[in-house]
Structure 1
Amino acid sequence: METLKIKTENPKTKKAKLKISGAEAIIHCLLAEGVDLLYGYPGGAIMPVYDELYKFQDRLTHILSRHEQGATHAAQGYARVTGKVGVAMATSGPGATNLVTGLADAQIDSTPLVCITGQVPRHLLGSDAFQETDIIGISTPVTKWNAQITKASEIPEVMAKAFYIARSGRPGPVLVDITKNAQFDEFEFSYEKCTAVRSYEPYPKPEENAIASAAELINAAKRPFIIWGQGVILGQAEEELKALVEKAGIPAAWTIMGASALDSDHPLNVGMVGMHGNYGPNLLTNECDLLIAIGMRFDDRVTGNLDTYAKQAKVIHFEIDPAEINKNVHADVAVLGDSKNSLQQLLPLIKNNNHDGWLSEFKEKYRIEFDTLISKDLNPTKEGLTMGEVIKEINQASKNEAVIVSDVGQHQMIACRYAKFKHTKSNITSGGLGTMGFALPAAIGAKMGAMDREVVAIIGDGGYQMTIQELGIIFQHQVPVKIVVLNNDHLGMVRQWQELFFERRYASTVMVNPDFVKIAEGYHIESNRVSERKDLKAAVEEMIASDKPYFLEVRVEKEDNVFPMIPSGASVSDIRLK
């Protein structure tokens, strides 16, 4: 493994050294990085660290997940709502491998995590010892960086680097694997935070020529269109985005990871792009003359067929990760840098403008979508409950103030389409990896990170059962998170594809579900079930008004589909309303 040279905050000063065990050193490293909450599951290879953690309970709260994957998702939810680094810990072997899904999810969704795993003693490495796995080799493709510690003296430097890499630039997950001998051995401990790593440039400086070229294109454009992603939130550039949109009068749409960076009701917020995004912004992507992408990576679920995506438009790409520039869509102007810094430099060069005629086209397309689809989703006349009307009631009961944590599937797309947000960091979902089972533990982590905010998990009956055991955290710690399971007795999104593209052959998508209310009651969580429209509003209001954990099952229509929809591999212009 490459050894990288570290620059420290105080290279000329040395703190008083204290001889302690590697296990205790791990705890001191966490405290030095401002960690006060972590999730995990103990086991033999990490037991020395847990023994030390026991002694620091007054300063460092450990939450016992019921599965290591749940620990990673809870840490993700905490990180996404706070902007801090989430921390998860597990033992070697199966404990470590159970972290991999969460690592992969955090990697593609740019979530800062530090995961700590125990490992067999150094002399047993490579011997197929009990519960030994090569977690470094396994996790390399799904981490921003990883490292194995085999000597106690390596702990401070590696841990400092881990937190710096996880949180800096485009954030991501880091894994640190620590052999058991390194946890027991003693050494003279001192700790200095990492502030730079050789050859790693997390904050590239935007080039003045690129900024000037971007401004020139924006000022000259007749039909400009902004699509922003999570990079705006990660870069804390929400105010700069709003200022650009308003000064230049440009319609702006969002990817699901970018939702909540701009108020849902802002007049220039024209909706969501992507496979199940809004009709107007998807269709008009192929009619704009300038496409301004800010902190988004042109994911295939956003672009559809790349051969037909925005070919008529000039493209400006504001992006912090050079690997994303020209990866999927060619940029006529690439502005490499942190979104906040880049937009701050751009704004003085932008002329006051409006594009009311162009904006009216988005409004007209929205009217078509509303008359054809949205009104039926939110104000249905059919007998069965729709997912959309449930989200509408949650919006009203929470006054658009809630953090919405969604799982993966039809309910996710409905939640992202119809949830209303007033504040940033309010939409938490598994975007790039699409991890079923994400929402329940992520909502727990989000609530623990933002106890002053209402946190509502929107989950399907399939994904809910993948991490249902994490109800144990809610019961043990009385985490007042609200859980809404939209139950259609199917793996809804897969069933939709089977209906549309596989001649209704519903292979392994029908769910025979347990009594979810009784399960919640088994964890002593207040619960309710709704199957009729007349009971929905009161049930949602009761849930939101509660100051305790609450579970609500809503029985929705079994064969209701999510539209609009861009068929896989089709052009954004081929978006279907039914």
Structure 2
Amino acid sequence: MELAKARGARIAPRQGGRVLADALVAQGITHAFTVPGESFLPVLDGLYAVRQKLHLTTCRFEAGAANMAEAYGKLTGRPAAAFVTRGPGACHAAIGVHVAFQDSTPLLLFVGQIPFGETDRESFQEVDYRRMFQPLAKWVTQIDDATRIPEIVAHAVDVATTGRPGPVVIALSEEMQQRVVEVTDLRPVQVARPHPDPAALERMLALLARARKPLAILGGSGWSEQGRADIRAFLTTNDLPVSVSFRRQALYDNTLDNYVGDLGVGSDPALVARAREADLILAIGTRLGEAVSQGYTLLDPVGGVPLVHVHPDAGEIGRVFRPALGIVTDLNVFAAAAARLPAVQPAWSEWRHDLRALRQAGREVPEYEGPLNLARVLRELEDLLEDDAILTCDAGNFATWPPRFMNFRDGQRFIGPTNGAMGYSVPAAIGAKIAFPGRQVVSFVGDGGFLMTGQELATAFHHGVAPIVLVFNNQMYGTIRMHQERAYPGRVSGTALTNPDFARLIEAFGGHGEVVAATAEFAPAFRRAVLSGRPALIELRMNPEQITTRATIAQLRAGATAASRPPAKPKVKRASAPKRAAAGVRAAPKKPKPKR
């Protein structure tokens, strides 16, 4: 009866822009981020009509909008939508699409497009988005027929959220948005998640039973709270040493005795060295990409060390490293199944203890030179953070400090761009705060990255959210300077920076600013920032000489100079003629003297 009524009910005519807004609501999309453009005015009007159901955040730069949407998807597992205009707007947003692609984050990017009838005339701001975004997205399409909007939006959500999650880009031709059509909205589809083969789980247990030095590497995206709890139960029950992949530091409770550190950029060299001794690698969720595999050197590509690779995308299993066992499965489903498995009698307690001891030793605070000991500051921050705090991190040398010295607890989240995109952290923090307004959000960003997208603080003020931004100021592009000092010591070129007064900058917006130049100043400054209830910024004036957690610029220069210096030739004492003859060495014939 209800179906008959639905079929017989008259469908109200709607403009394409409104159909699109309704399609997003029908698919459960609740947040969108935009820099408005004239190429999608009908969509903006449609979003106004559904403003009670879909929250629209107005941003200041398209890269910021895309990164806010990416952070929302990373933290919730559900895609947000980003809307940008054609041409320059799409180019600016491309970085967020690349972040989402390499981080396996669900994201929907909608791009206003030229009128369909002007295609291939190089019309104003015309770009072929299928060609532009093809290497950066899971799917790229264009809607030219308004009647297909519900179909394409529903499929886009399915593509973005299933298998290995990722971004979908949809171009919206201009006249399509204006066309009035009668079309039915589509409901979301319940997609059954792939389950692991029970025989594969038994084989995994058999491989574990033979191991003496196993190592689990946990990574990937789309983990639910229950999935995290289940995988933790499996790993702790079997006393397996657990490392996390690049930028996934808070995927596993760092305070547990079997957490041994992160494998990625800036990892503890001692952990990397011991990881090479492992006789079984259990890779769960991670793609085993360049960063986690230490430039594809950590494992033997032909499988000399047994590898169990668990991933939702069959195309990632065996892509570089041939596994002894590949398991294609949804990660949360795998975790639930693994938690129910009988425990293996561990034969690696001492191994696990040794790896944990490395983690504990690496967290010890060195006596760095200068009034601000950044390691001690981060240890203090660890105690000041709320149990469900969300931390966003930018790209740069400073980003190796928090994972080394901080333990992230089970309820906390730590997110950053695995593709090394600078300018990510501030927009991500704002997106996180919009997604979870009641949770504490702290942004880690360098002075270089902050001035790329720091203007998005205006978005925080406009929408009434208050993240806390920690600016690590060493007056340089630190990562590039590090490589520069190693390869070309003392020849500083293009890496020095001139910065504003960061505290006064946020005060100009109406926020709370602090400058911390000494260790003892940090904790009181952070407490004041929290109590202010406003967007806050704390500038940490680092010692520029301390270029990494383990090296100074002088040390890098000395190492590079020593490496570039040709080895001294040893002085060889020339043996006498009789000794050379006894050794079977013939004397060189004497050259005749030239005749005058």
> What is the TM-score normalised by the length of structure 1?
0.89
Counterpart position of 2:150: 156
Cα separation, partners in 2 of 1:219 and 1:564, compared to 1, 3 Å: farther
Between the aligned partners of 2:255 and 2:494, the Cα distance in structure 1 is 40
Match of 2:14 among 11, 17, 20: 20
- Deviation (angstroms), 1:469: 1.6
The correspondence of residues 230-269 of structure 1 with structure 2, limited to 5 A, is: 230-231=220-221, 233=223, 237-269=227-259
- Per-residue Cα deviation, 1:10-43 (whole angstroms, up to 9, x for no partner): 9997484221110110111111122232110111
Aligned residues between the structures: 545
Aligned residue identity for 2:392 = V
SS at match of 2:32: strand
Between the aligned partners of 2:331 and 2:77, the Cα distance in structure 1 is 15
Counterpart position of 2:215: 225
1:412 and 2:399 correspond: yes
Equivalent residues of 1:80, 1:446 under 8 A apart: no
Cα separation, partners in 2 of 1:11 and 1:479, compared to 1, 3 Å: farther
- Deviation (angstroms), 1:151: 1.2
Cα separation, partners in 2 of 1:430 and 1:234, compared to 1, 3 Å: farther
Equivalent residues of 1:441, 1:467 under 8 A apart: yes
Between the aligned partners of 1:18 and 1:506, the Cα distance in structure 2 is 66
Moved more, 186-195 or 244-253: 186-195
Counterpart position of 2:141: 147
1:359 and 2:349 correspond: no
SS at match of 1:536: helix
1:481 and 2:467 correspond: yes
Counterpart position of 2:101: 107
Match of 1:512 among 498, 504, 507: 498
1:396 and 2:383 correspond: yes
1:345 and 2:337 correspond: yes
Aligned residue identity for 1:474 = A
- Per-residue Cα deviation, 1:445-501 (whole angstroms, up to 9, x for no partner): 001111121000010000001112211102212211101101010111111122223
Equivalent residues of 2:74, 2:221 under 8 A apart: no
Cα separation, partners in 2 of 1:423 and 1:144, compared to 1, 3 Å: same
For structure 1, the 5+ residue unaligned runs are: 1-9, 566-578
- Deviation (angstroms), 1:543: 1.8
- Deviation (angstroms), 1:67: 0.8
Equivalent residues of 2:129, 2:140 under 8 A apart: no
Cα separation, partners in 2 of 1:368 and 1:95, compared to 1, 3 Å: closer
For structure 2, the 5+ residue unaligned runs are: 552-596
SS at match of 1:18: coil
Between the aligned partners of 1:204 and 1:11, the Cα distance in structure 2 is 34
- Deviation (angstroms), 1:215: 1.3
Aligned residue identity for 1:410 = N
1:498 and 2:491 correspond: no
Moved more, 488-497 or 223-232: 223-232
Counterpart position of 1:571: none
Match of 1:209 among 191, 194, 199: 199
- Deviation (angstroms), 1:51: 2.2
Equivalent residues of 2:35, 2:58 under 8 A apart: yes
Between the aligned partners of 1:504 and 1:234, the Cα distance in structure 2 is 48
Moved more, 34-43 or 354-363: 354-363
SS at match of 1:302: coil
- Per-residue Cα deviation, 1:127-182 (whole angstroms, up to 9, x for no partner): 11112211221011111112101111111110111111112222111111111111
- Deviation (angstroms), 1:92: 1.4
Aligned residue identity for 2:284 = I
Equivalent residues of 1:287, 1:312 under 8 A apart: no
Moved more, 280-289 or 102-111: 280-289
- Deviation (angstroms), 1:235: 9.1
Aligned residue identity for 1:351 = A
SS at match of 1:260: helix
SS at match of 1:146: strand
Aligned residue identity for 1:412 = A
SS at match of 2:287: coil
Match of 1:299 among 289, 302, 305: 289
Aligned residue identity for 2:274 = L
Equivalent residues of 2:27, 2:188 under 8 A apart: no
Aligned residue identity for 2:369 = K
1:54 and 2:48 correspond: yes
Between the aligned partners of 1:290 and 1:138, the Cα distance in structure 2 is 41
Match of 1:190 among 161, 184, 193: 184
Between the aligned partners of 2:295 and 2:459, the Cα distance in structure 1 is 43
Counterpart position of 1:4: none
Aligned residue identity for 1:87 = A
Aligned residue identity for 1:86 = A
Between the aligned partners of 2:340 and 2:454, the Cα distance in structure 1 is 51
Cα separation, partners in 2 of 1:166 and 1:234, compared to 1, 3 Å: farther
Aligned residue identity for 1:411 = F
- Per-residue Cα deviation, 1:73-124 (whole angstroms, up to 9, x for no partner): 0111222222221210011121122211111110110111111111111111
Cα separation, partners in 2 of 1:498 and 1:98, compared to 1, 3 Å: same
- Per-residue Cα deviation, 1:325-347 (whole angstroms, up to 9, x for no partner): 11121111111111222233344
> What is the TM-score normalised by the length of structure 2?
0.86
Moved more, 31-40 or 55-64: 55-64
The correspondence of residues 402-481 of structure 1 with structure 2, limited to 5 A, is: 402-423=389-410, 426-431=413-418, 433-481=419-467
Between the aligned partners of 1:15 and 1:137, the Cα distance in structure 2 is 42
Equivalent residues of 1:92, 1:120 under 8 A apart: yes
Equivalent residues of 1:29, 1:159 under 8 A apart: yes
Equivalent residues of 2:241, 2:259 under 8 A apart: yes
Q: Which structure's CA Rg is the greater one?
A: 2
Equivalent residues of 2:389, 2:412 under 8 A apart: no
The correspondence of residues 558-569 of structure 1 with structure 2, limited to 5 A, is: 558-563=544-549
- Per-residue Cα deviation, 1:338-372 (whole angstroms, up to 9, x for no partner): 122223334444434343211222144346545xx
SS at match of 1:142: coil
Moved more, 404-413 or 301-310: 301-310
Between the aligned partners of 1:137 and 1:366, the Cα distance in structure 2 is 45
Equivalent residues of 1:81, 1:450 under 8 A apart: no
- Per-residue Cα deviation, 1:168-199 (whole angstroms, up to 9, x for no partner): 22211111111111111111121113538xxx
SS at match of 1:483: strand
Equivalent residues of 2:248, 2:415 under 8 A apart: no
- Per-residue Cα deviation, 1:391-420 (whole angstroms, up to 9, x for no partner): 222211115542110100112121233333
Between the aligned partners of 1:221 and 1:13, the Cα distance in structure 2 is 60
Between the aligned partners of 1:59 and 1:207, the Cα distance in structure 2 is 40
Q: Equivalent pairs: percent with the same residue?
A: 27
Equivalent residues of 1:74, 1:442 under 8 A apart: yes
Counterpart position of 1:318: 310
Cα separation, partners in 2 of 1:121 and 1:381, compared to 1, 3 Å: closer
1:331 and 2:323 correspond: yes
Moved more, 40-49 or 455-464: 40-49
Cα separation, partners in 2 of 1:149 and 1:32, compared to 1, 3 Å: same
SS at match of 1:266: coil
- Deviation (angstroms), 1:424: 5.0
Equivalent residues of 1:203, 1:320 under 8 A apart: no
SS at match of 1:465: helix
- Deviation (angstroms), 1:295: 0.4
Relative contact order: is structure 1 or structure 2 higher (C-alpha 8 Å, sep ≥ 6)? 1
- Deviation (angstroms), 1:308: 5.7
Aligned residue identity for 2:96 = G
Aligned residue identity for 1:224 = P
Equivalent residues of 2:213, 2:351 under 8 A apart: yes
Between the aligned partners of 2:333 and 2:175, the Cα distance in structure 1 is 45
Match of 1:270 among 250, 260, 275: 260
Between the aligned partners of 1:533 and 1:256, the Cα distance in structure 2 is 28
Equivalent residues of 2:246, 2:291 under 8 A apart: no
Moved more, 329-338 or 187-196: 187-196
Between the aligned partners of 2:368 and 2:294, the Cα distance in structure 1 is 33
Equivalent residues of 2:434, 2:465 under 8 A apart: yes
Between the aligned partners of 1:521 and 1:83, the Cα distance in structure 2 is 34
